[in-house]
Each structure stands twice: as C-alpha cells, then as structure tokens.
Amino acid sequence: MTAFFSSHFFLMALFAGGLASIASGIVGSYVVIKRIAFIAGSISHSVLGGMGLFLYLRRTYDIAWLTPINGALIAALLSSTLIGFIRLYYRQREDTIIAALWVLGMSIGVIFISLTPGYNVELMNFLFGNILWASSHDLITLLILDGVILLVTLAFHKRFVLICFDEKQAQLQRVQVAPLYLLLLGLIGLTVVLLIQVVGAILVIAFLTLPAAASNIFSKTLSVMMLFAVALGIVITLLGLSISFTVNWPPGATIALTSTAVYLIALLFGKRKQNV
C-alpha cells in the first residue's frame, strides 16, 4: 500500500476514478431504475464512430482539437438524442434503435480506424481504458462534467424520478416527459464519455450500471441508492487499482471485473438476507 500511494500515476488514477464514480453513481441509478442499461451500452459502443472519425481527421489534416475524446462526446450526445427522438416521436421499439446505433457506430469506427495511418495506440487506450495515464487536464475535464451532471440532477431530480418510475403518471401531472427523457439520455451520454477515460468504451457499461445495481439491493430510496453507488464506485476503483497493481493486470478491465464481483456478492448477500 505504501508503494501504491507513493506512485503519482496511481494517485492520479484514484482521483480520476473517484470523480467518475460521482457521475456513474448518480446517472447509473437512473439507468438501473428505468431499466435502460442497454441504451447505455449502445451509446458506449456507438461512440467508437466519433472516436475513429476524429482520430482519422486529426492524423490526416493535423487538426489538434479533433481528439478521440471530443469525438466520443459528440457521438454520445448525437446517439442519445437520436435514440430519444425515434423512441418518442416515431414510436419504434427501443431495442431496435439500440441495435441499429450499436452497429452503425462500431462499423464507422472500424472503417476509420483502418484508414488512419500509423499505430493507433491512443484509440486502443480509449477502447480498453488507461486510467494510469490520467493527467491534470483529464481531471479538470472530469470535474467539469461532474459539475454539469450534479447541477442538472439537482434541478430536475424530482421530475427524473417521475419519468423513471411511471411516465404515464408523470404526463397526468403535466410533466414534460419528452424533453426530460432527452435530457436524461444526454446525461447518460456525458457519463459514458467520462467513464471511457477510466475503464474504456468496451467496459463502460459495467462501471455505469453494476455499482448502482448493487446499491439498489440495499437501498429503500433513490437518493440513498445514489449515495451508496457513488461510495461503492470509489471503493471498486480502489480495489480494482490495488489488484491491478499487485498482479500486473490491465487497470480498466480489473476495475470492471471488480465491479462485477461486487455486484454478484451483493446479489447473493441480498437474497440470503431476504430468505432470513
């Protein structure tokens, strides 16, 4: 532990994981309650298209601001908005929309990755996570995104709760369901981009949903569930980084694996508690 906490890289990674846990605990709770985990999965994989496109343009035309993370942000917001509009105004099944966007984003990403000159180690880090390379700039970005998510959540939490539990009842109470649903999907998109820097695009759905799902087993209110999910996300990050440090495993995959193990333990303990 002395070696762990004396390492600058692991301390920066721990800070990044803690900041990401705030967003995943809050937004992930909405995702779990509304049962739209596969929407988060679709957004997390569709961002590959934006990442691949921006990396290709950056390498080809030497445009500095076209970074993969900026491409992921734009792709995530576009995907979440498109899912919301099609679901609300075209009355199509969400699973069909999710499958289409999943395939579209992955296909575009693979095509532009193949066209991009050079070895794309930068993109591989975003796909599978490289939290150990978190910089001060990354922490500032995470902090800003956390601030946006917290402000929006504080302003619209009660209405988010209504549309998560019962959209029809929310409509009867004259709540504007459509814009709120689109806003919630936008928050999911922001959170996905934030978590990409911690566990990577491939494993982001695990860190987004599993801490919140584990917290849901022992929580009676959504607010308590969010607090537990944030705390659990920080613990999972610390455990995952510690295991990664000890056995020399990839940190992103180790954090995702730890979140899965914690959820299974919580599920088993929760069932045993109910039986008692």
User: What's the confidence (pLDDT) of residue 276?
Assistant: 46
pLDDT tens string 200-248? 877 788 889 999 999 999 888 999 999 999 999 999 999 998 998 889 8
Give the tokens for residue 13: 């990674």
Domain presence at residue 276? no
User: What's the confidence (pLDDT) of residue 120?
Assistant: 64
Using DSSP, how many helices (H) and how many strands (E) does the chain show? 12, 0
CATH number, domain with residue 62: 1.10.3470.10
Residue type, 88: L
Q: Percent helix, strand, coil in the chain (nearest 5)?
A: 85, 0, 15
Query: 38: exposed, middle or buried (C-beta count within 10 Å: 0-12, 13-18, 19+)?
Result: middle
Domain presence at residue 274? no
What is the C-alpha separation between 219 and 199, in angstroms, rounded? Answer: 26
User: What's the confidence (pLDDT) of residue 174?
Assistant: 83
DSSP 76-115: HHHHHHHHHHHHHHS---HHHHHHHHHHHHHHHHHHHHHH
User: What's the confidence (pLDDT) of residue 228?
Assistant: 95
Domain range enclosing 220: 2-269
Neighbouring C-beta atoms of residue 252, cutoff 10 Å: 31
Q: Are 197 and 134 in contact (CB under 8 A)?
A: yes
Which long-range contacts link 144-153 to residues 24+ away (Cβ below 8 Å)?
145/23, 145/190, 145/191, 145/193, 145/194, 146/19, 146/22, 146/23, 146/194, 148/190, 149/22, 149/23, 149/26, 149/27, 149/187, 149/190, 149/191, 150/22, 150/26, 152/183, 152/187, 153/26, 153/27, 153/187
Q: Are 123 and 59 in contact (CB under 8 A)?
A: no
User: What's the confidence (pLDDT) of residue 243?
Assistant: 92
How many domains does the chain fold into? 1
Predicted TM-score (pTM) above 0.85: yes
Q: Are 25 and 207 in contact (CB under 8 A)?
A: no
What is the C-alpha separation between 70 and 185, in angstroms, rounded? Answer: 18
Q: Are 45 and 105 in contact (CB under 8 A)?
A: yes
Domain presence at residue 275? no
Give the tokens for residue 150: 């917290």
Residue ranges of the chain whose pLDDT lies below 70: 1, 3-5, 91-94, 119-123, 271-276
